[in-house]
Structure 1
Amino acid sequence: MTSLLPRPRMTFPALADWLDTGWPFGEHNIVRIEESAADGKYTVRAELPGFDPAKGIHITTEGGLLTITAEREARTETKGRSEFHYGSFRRTVSLPQGADASKITAKYADGILEVVVPYDGAEPGKPVEIEVKKD
């Protein structure tokens, strides 16, 4: 999915996804997100199944960035096999211009965290043409 916000262009756009899908040196605790912007609201939905939102999920903003941090403790059972990911999970996204951090809301249901950030309504990244007037 293409981001709604301007971000630095990577040489290999899908590199993070490629690393997460099994490359042995990749970061496996990535938080997968969906972003949308409409009606003056920027919404981030994060896939975080099996987390306790009261204890294991934290959301912070600083310097125009929104950071979602989640932690899941590993089970100590030694029998069997697990493909679950444990430990710390983190994702940071840029907020749109005019974002009002004091009015951010968040809810967690069915393994999905939804964070809504009101902003001044200007579409992020939308080009604006400036007229040049002659003296």
Structure 2
Amino acid sequence: MTALMPRLFGDFTDWLESDRPLLPGHVIRLEDSLTDQEYRIRAELPGMDPDKDIQVSVDGAVLSIHAERRYEEQVKGRSEFRYGMLQRAVRLPGNADADNIKASYDKGILEVVVPLRSAEAAGRQIPIAGS
């Protein structure tokens, strides 16, 4: 049994270090910051073409980033690159101005800037109907 354990773990780590595609929905690494004026998200997506490989969308209060790193056929050799779909969803602050979100891509970093409305403009008073 003990002789089997290193072989099992070795096979598993070999699979992790192989050039097999990513599992569906692999998570994108990101960092974010929040000020009174904006919510800024920076996502690490090196080696991608923002016109073909990256999509940024907003649905309600959720900003989604979808990307795909395509597998390039190799003749022989070793590759530690990971390929496949990557995605990440982030809940936006309540006062996010979803109509004016801007995104840019430079040197492998996708940056999304979400402007924030002032506290007064973020919500609205709901009238209460009487009986």
TM-score by length of 1: 0.67
SS at match of 2:27: coil
Unaligned runs of 5+ in 2: 1-15, 17-21, 120-131
**Which one of 57, 77, 82 corresponds to residue 80 of structure 1?**
77
| Alignment partners' CA distance in 2, 1:74 and 1:81 | 13
Q: 1:110 aligns with which of 99, 107, 110?
A: 107
Matched, 1:35 2:32: yes
When the two structures are aligned, how many residues end up with a matched partner? Answer: 98
Summarize deviations over 1:18-62 as a string: whole Å, max 9, x none.
xxxx6xxx9583200001011310000000000000111100011
**RMSD over equivalenced CA pairs, Å:** 1.8
The answer on whether the counterparts of 1:29 and 1:86 sit within 8 Å (CA) in structure 2 is no
Q: Which has the higher helix share?
A: 2
**Structure 1: stretches of 5+ with no match in the other structure:** 1-21, 123-135
| Partner residue, 2:43 | 46
* Distance in 2, Cα, partners of 1:102 & 1:67: 15
Matched with 2:96 is 99
CA contact (8 A) 2:36 2:116 kept: no
Query: Deviating runs (4+, > 4 A) in structure 1?
Result: none
Q: Distance in 2 between matches of 1:78 and 1:97?
A: 51
Q: Among the aligned pairs, what percent are the same residue?
A: 49
